Amino acid sequence: MSLPIRGDTLAASRCAKCGAHFFPPRHRCPSCMADTVEVELPREGTVLTFSEVHVSNGRFRPPYVVAIVELGPVRVPGIVINATYDDMEIGDRVAVIVERNRYLDEPDVWYYFVKK
Amino acid sequence: MFITYTVEIGMNVYIISMGMSKIGKRKESSKELFFEALTEALQGVDPRDIDAVYVGVQSETYEHQIMYGSLVSEYGGLLFREAYRVEACAASGALALHTAYMAVRSGVARVALAVGVEKMTAKGTEEVTDALMAASDYVLDQLNGITIPAHYAMLATRYMRLYGATEEDLCAVAVKNHENASLNPKAHFQKRITLEECLRSRPVARPLKVMDSAPISDGAAVALVAGEDVARKLTDTPVRILASVVVADTLSISQRPDPLWPRAVWEAAARAYRQAGIGPRDVGIAEVHDAFTINEVLMYEALGFAERGKGYLLVREGETQRGGRIPVNVSGGLKARGHPVGATGLAQIYELYLHLTGRAGKRQVNARYGLALNEGGVNSTAVAHILAV
Ligand SMILES: [Zn+2]
Closest CA to B32 of B224, B220, B223, B222: B220
Distance A28 CA to ligand 1 centre (A): 8
Q: Rounded to whole angstroms, how far apart are CA atoms B183 and B356?
A: 17
Q: Which tens digit of pLDDT belongs to each residue from B255-300?
A: 999 999 999 999 999 999 999 999 999 999 999 999 999 999 999 9
B10: left (phi over 0), alpha (psi -120 to 50) or beta: left
Render pLDDT for B150-159 as a digit per residue (tens, 0 to 9): 999 999 999 9
Q: Hey, are the CB atoms on A51 and B205 less than 8 Å from each other? A: yes
- Asked whether the beta carbons of A58 and B126 are under 8 A apart, the reply is yes
Letter string b/e over residues B77-95, b meaning 16 or more CB atoms within 10 A of that residue's CB? ebeebebebbbbbbbbbbb
Q: What is the pTM of this model?
A: 0.97
Count: domains in chain A = 1
Best residue in B206, B255, B258 to probe A by mutation, most A CBs within 10 Å?
B206
- Span A26-76, pLDDT tens digits: 999 999 999 999 999 999 999 999 999 999 999 999 999 999 999 999 999
Contact (CB, 8 A) for A33 and A52: no
- Check if B70 contacts A (Cβ < 8 Å): no
Tens of pLDDT along B159-181?
Answer: 999 999 999 999 999 999 999 99
Q: Using CB atoms within 10 A of its CB, is residue A5 exposed (0-12), middle (13-18) or buried (19+)?
A: middle
Sign of CA dihedral B155, B161, B164, B168: positive
Question: What percentage of chain A has pLDDT greater than the value 90?
Answer: 97
CA proximity to B241, closest of B9, B16, B8? B16
- The per-residue pLDDT for A72 is 97
Distances (CA, A) of B375 to B54, B103, B145, B348: 18, 21, 22, 11
Ligand 1 centroid from CA A36, angstroms: 8
Separation between Cα atoms, residue B290 and residue B212, nearest integer Å? 9
Mean pLDDT confidence for B186-209: 98
Domain residue limits, chain B: 13-123+216-234
* Complex ipTM: 0.98
CB A57 to CB B153 under 8 A?
A: no
| Best of A5, A31, A55, A81 to mutate (most B CBs within 10 Å, chain B) | A55
Residue B44 has what pLDDT?
Answer: 84
Residue B161 to residue A90, Cβ atoms within 8 A:
yes
Q: What range defines the domain where residue A11 resides?
A: 5-115
- The answer to whether residues A10 and A76 touch, using CB atoms and an 8 Å cutoff, is yes
Per-residue pLDDT at B3 exceeds 80: no
Minimum-distance CB partner of A58 among B126, B161, B208: B126
Which of the following CATH numbers is that of domain B13-123+216-234: 3.40.1160.10, 3.40.50.970, 3.20.20.70, 3.40.47.10? 3.40.47.10
Q: Is B2 on the interface with A (CB under 8 A)?
A: no
Q: Do the chains contact at A77 and B252, CB–CB below 8 Å?
A: yes
Residues 6+ apart with CB under 8 A from B377: B88, B89, B90, B91, B135, B136, B148, B251
Are the Cβ atoms of A50 and B146 closer than 8 angstroms?
A: no
pLDDT at B58: 97
Cross-sheet strand order for the sheet of B111-119:
B82-86, B52-56, B111-119, B218-227, B13-20, B239-248, B381-388, B369-376, B285-288
Q: Which residue of chain A is at minimal alpha-carbon distance from B252?
A: A77
Mention every residue, 6+ apart, whose C-beta is less than 8 A from residue B243: B271, B272, B273, B274, B275, B276, B384, B385, B386
Instruction: Select from A58, A90, A104 the Cβ nearest to the Cβ of B158.
Output: A90
Task: List chain B residues with CB under 8 Å of A90.
Answer: 157-158, 161
Distance in Å, CA B304 to ligand 1 centroid:
33
